[in-house]
Structure formats: C-alpha cells, structure tokens
Amino acid sequence: MAEVAAEAPSVTLYGIAQSTYVRTARMVLEEKGVTYAFQQVRPGSPDSRELHPFARVPVLRHGELVLFETAAIASYVDETFPGLTLQPPDPPSRAQMWKWISIVNGYMDPITTRGVIVERLSALAMGQRPDEAAIRAALPVVDRQLSVLEAELAGRTFLSGGTVTLADLFVYPIIYYIGCLPEARSLLGGREAIGHWRARIERRPCVAATAPQPPKMGSTPRRAPIR
C-alpha cells in the first residue's frame, strides 16, 4: 500500500526493502491499511544519522513524531490506526506475542539474521566469499531456534493463537530469508508446522506488497545489506 499520493501521506517509513525489521514495519502498516510513503535510506548513511541516533533503520515519521525501534513502531501503528488489531487483548496471548518479539530481537536477529543470512546472502550478492566457518558454527543454533518455533506452532494457527499478531510479522521476514539459503532444505525440511504457518502468512496481501528482490547468488558485486 506504499504510494506517493497527490497529497503526500502523513506517514513515512525510512529504510531498505531488504531489511527484515523494515519489512516487519511495512507489513504492520499494510495490515492496518495505512497509506504511507516508503523512502529508501541505508543504515549507516548520513541520512540515517539525521533520523536515528544510532544510524539504523527503520524509522517512522507520523506528522511531527519521529519514532525508531521496530517494536515501538509496530505497537504505535497498531494502537494509532483503525483496522485489524495486531495485539491480543488477553494477557497470556499478548505475553506470548511479546515473548516472540523478544526472541527475534535477542536470539534470532544476532545469530540467524546477522550470523547466517547477512553473512551468506550479502556476501554472495556482492561477489565475495562468505565466512563458511562462522556460518557452520551458527547453524546448530539456528536449527535449535527453528526447533523451538516448530514446537510452539504445533497445533496453532499463528504464534499467539488464532489470529495474526505482531509476533508473526516479526518472525516471518527471517523465515523468508532462511528459505533463500542453500541450507533451506536441511533447516526447514520436515518442519511441517512452520511450513503450514508460512503458507498462511504468505496468503496475506502484506507479504506480496512488501516482498524484497530475491537474493541473487554470485551476481555482479554490489552492496546489498539485509539488516
């Protein structure tokens, strides 16, 4: 739903399409039906430093408000705009949602996203050799994380119950990139609960609306950061 309308939208999201966290923020905006502008800003660039004290992405601007950190952006958008509610009303389900957001931030992003996905896909897209030793060291941890995810999804439609929540929108972009890895079959094969959950998520319009360009293996060297 990102667009440049005749009258500029009051919401702008800054970041890069390849970022898992930026995609989460965009999926939340899409799920809520918010018309927004998406402006490409690379992490670490001068533009990002003007928006974010640590030069990271995403950053959301809504009128006079400038907000960073994906969890803050996601909860703000959900609570500010009408439409589908993405945070469960009951405390146990809401705690389950925040638990998975914390798992993404504390465990999956450092090891799975930066340690494997960025290391392999960004290096290959730039025509460089990834650090295979570092990837091999990280893969057992990734496998363990996926085992936990598989167990939690068994018998569930979504991570926090019967409806999609912010938890699903935080986890999905990482699972998408795992599916792009050469190790995808060994990591995801046989994990039926994750497969069924992923299929349900991918039927939602927000997935197609926010899809990044698929990683190009061994292409002409170029900068293609994911995080």
Tell me what pLDDT residue 223 has. 31
Same domain for 108 and 206, yes or no, is yes
- Asked if the model's pLDDT at residue 150 lies above 80, the reply is yes
Is 105 in the same domain as 64?
A: no
Return the DSSP state at 9.
Answer: P
Listed residues 29, 48, 80: the one ending a domain: 80
- What pLDDT is stored for residue 5 in this prediction? 44
Q: What is the pLDDT of residue 151?
A: 98
Say whether pLDDT at 2 is over 90: no
- The answer as to whether 15 is a domain residue is yes
Decide if pLDDT at 95 tops 70: yes
Q: What is the mean pLDDT of residues 68-72?
A: 98
pLDDT exceeds 90 at position 88:
yes
Greater pLDDT, 188 or 125:
188
pLDDT of residue 164: 98
C-alpha angle 53/59/60, rounded to 5°?
130
The share of the chain scoring above pLDDT 70, in percent, equals 91
Task: Answer yes or no: is pLDDT of 71 > 80.
Answer: yes
- Distance set, CA 110 to CA 103, 150, 156, 214 (Å): 10, 20, 26, 22
Dihedrals phi, psi of 204, to nearest 5 degrees: -80, 140
Per-residue pLDDT band at 128 (split at 50, 70, 90):
confident
Residue 170 domain boundaries: 91-210
Whose tokens are 């039926």? That residue is: 192
CATH number for the domain that contains residue 15: 3.40.30.10
| 222 vs 134, higher pLDDT | 134
Both 107 and 165 in one domain: the answer is: yes
Residue 20 has pLDDT above 70, yes or no: yes
The predicted structure's pLDDT at residue 3: 53
In this structure, is residue 126 part of a structural domain?
yes
Evaluate if residue 58 carries a pLDDT over 90.
yes
Q: Are residues 95 and 65 in the same domain?
A: no
Q: What is the pLDDT of residue 27?
A: 98
| 189 shares its domain with 95 | yes
Helices (H), 52-203: 70-80, 91-103, 123-125, 132-153, 166-178, 184-188, 192-202
The answer to whether residue 1 sits within a structural domain is no
pTM of the model: 0.90
Selection from 10, 29, 38 nearest residue 78 by Cα: 29
pLDDT at position 4 over 50: no
pLDDT tier, 9 (very low <50, low <70, confident <90, very high otherwise): confident
Same domain, 200 and 116: yes
Average model confidence (pLDDT) across the chain: 91
The answer to whether residue 100 is domain-embedded is yes
Top-confidence residue, 87 or 128? 87
Into how many domains does the chain fold?
2
User: Does 86 map to a domain?
Assistant: no
Asked if 185 and 206 sit in the same domain, the reply is yes
109 and 15 fall within a common domain: no
Banded pLDDT at 8 (limits 50, 70, 90): low
**Does residue 44 lie within any of the structural domains?**
yes
**Residues 103, 74: one domain?**
no
Question: Quick one: 120 and 198 in the same domain?
Answer: yes
